[in-house]
Amino acid sequence: MKALQFNVNVPRFIAAKTLRTFFGARVFFKGPVKTVQLADVPEPGLFTPDWVKIKTLYCGFCGSDLNLITLHDSPSASPFTSFPCVIGHEIVGEIVETGANVKGFQNGDLVTINPGLTCEARGITPLCGPCGAGRSSNCENFAEGSLPPGMFIGITSGVNGGFAPYLVAHQSQLFKVPEGVNLESAVMTEPVAVALQTLFDNMPQTDEKVLVIGGGVIGNLVIQSIKTLAPGCRVFVVEPSSFAADLAKKAGAEEVIPSKGLFARTSRITGARVYKPMIGMEIPMGGFDRVYDTVGISATLNLSMRLMAAMGTLSVVGIGGDVRLDLTPLWLKLQTIKGAYAYGHVAFNGRRQHVFEIAMELMKNGKIKADALVTHKFGLEDYAQMIEVNLNKQKHRAMKTVMAF
């Protein structure tokens, strides 16, 4: 079968990085040093009787997919990946083959997939600390067990991602899509879960003023999650794209703060006093109670720390890389920085649930309108066009792009 396959080695890494300087990002998906291409791969079979085979219906294209293709990720994560691999981890599909040991699922079930390849999927017992605590997406065994190294489906050799007609998944990864949740919502379950877990780990309190850096897909979903789980707080966003900014306001942001005059506007909103150092960026005393940085680069992280009040908590959402930080606000204002990656089990509405279940419940009830963010659909053969659109979302008025099968 045809699938979108990623592959890289050291010579290709060096060549692609060098050629990008002269020819732009297209070198990563067009030309002799491209990192992705359509490839013939075997249709997968079940690894053990605990697995199912799934026919892909939709697979979303994530910002982490773009970072992978354009070689933007930190090499520090390389021990927990393996190539070549079929990419794509935001998946909804139909079970077409069920292993003999699978319980609670059958052929014909519509499912979404927690992509993490954790202790259970790898056949490892006893479970590691994070898996045992219900945070399996932070498993300590991503390079161990019966599978090749890889944190999740889509960056693991031999375990197809969703940019293929078929893939396999362990029963521990499966969640049934309830009636009333359409395919466009179901394919958004994974990014909605990322946003919700960010909130469960750093929940705003009533009357707090919070700032979201970045109004893309995850930023928009963080805003919607805040308005759903903590409706008593005030939400502001920094987003340069006019298209994304308009959607952020529709999602519930009180105001989109322009980059120009950002410190002055922060002062007016929060009452912070802004001081100018001898050289460098201003530093407010006071600021936002919590900040959610969905961009995670040096510029936004340094800005987030400066705009946050004393004893505030900054959530760095998603897969970041190497950054350079001025830690002055961290000690001067006694701040906390938390990583926000993936999802797990939390207490919600009086019972312990996986965040995937909560995500689908909130989408079903119309509390989070994730399907409205799906702006473009592509076929497998149109993968290059999909990447082009994601490289310039403002031009194409794009948010979430998905591949349809």
User: Per residue in 255-275, pLDDT tens?
Assistant: 999 988 999 999 999 999 999
- Last residue within a domain, chosen from 288, 321, 340: 340
| Separation of alpha carbons 305 and 310, rounded Å | 10
Nearest to 169 by CA among 65, 95, 119, 100: 95
What proportions of the chain, in percent to the nearest 5, are helix, strand and coil?
35, 25, 40
Determine contact, residues 136/170, Cβ cutoff 8 Å.
no
205 lies in the same domain as 321: yes
Residue 329 belongs to some domain of the structure? yes
Q: How many domains does the chain have?
A: 2
Residues 96 and 235 in one domain: no
What is the reported pLDDT for 30? 94
Ramachandran class of 402: left when φ > 0, alpha when ψ lies in -120 to 50, beta otherwise: beta
Q: Is 128 helix (H, G, I), strand (E, B) or coil?
A: coil
Q: Which domain holds residue 7?
A: 2-188+370-404
pLDDT of residue 76: 86
Helix (H) or strand (E) holding 3: strand 2-6
pLDDT over 80 at 24, yes or no = yes
**pLDDT digit string (tens) for 37-59?**
999 999 999 999 999 999 999 99
164 C-beta neighbours (distance < 10 Å), count: 25
List the structure tokens of 102: 């699978």
Do 27 and 128 belong to one domain? yes
Q: What is the pLDDT of residue 6?
A: 97
At 176 the pLDDT is 98
pLDDT at 74: 79
Structural element, H or E, at residue 288: strand 288-293
Q: What is the pLDDT of residue 14?
A: 93
My answer on whether 138 and 205 are in the same domain is no
What does the pLDDT read at residue 244?
Answer: 97
Please, is 172 exposed, middle or buried when counting C-beta atoms within 10 Å of its C-beta (0-12, 13-18, 19+)?
Answer: middle
Q: What is 5-63 written as a DSSP string?
A: EE---HHHHHHHHHHHHHH-GGGGTSSTT-SEEEEE-PPP--SSTTEEEEEEEEEEEPH
Q: Residue 71, by phi and psi: left (phi above 0), alpha (psi -120 to 50) or beta?
A: left
- Dump pLDDT digits (tens) for 105-125: 999 999 999 999 999 999 999
Q: What is the pLDDT of residues 284-340, one digit of tens each?
A: 999 999 999 999 999 999 999 999 999 999 999 977 778 999 999 999 999 999 999
Output the pTM of the full model. Answer: 0.96
| Sign, Cα dihedral of 388, 391, 395, 397 | positive
State residue 322's pLDDT score.
85
In terms of domains, do 47 and 117 share one?
A: yes
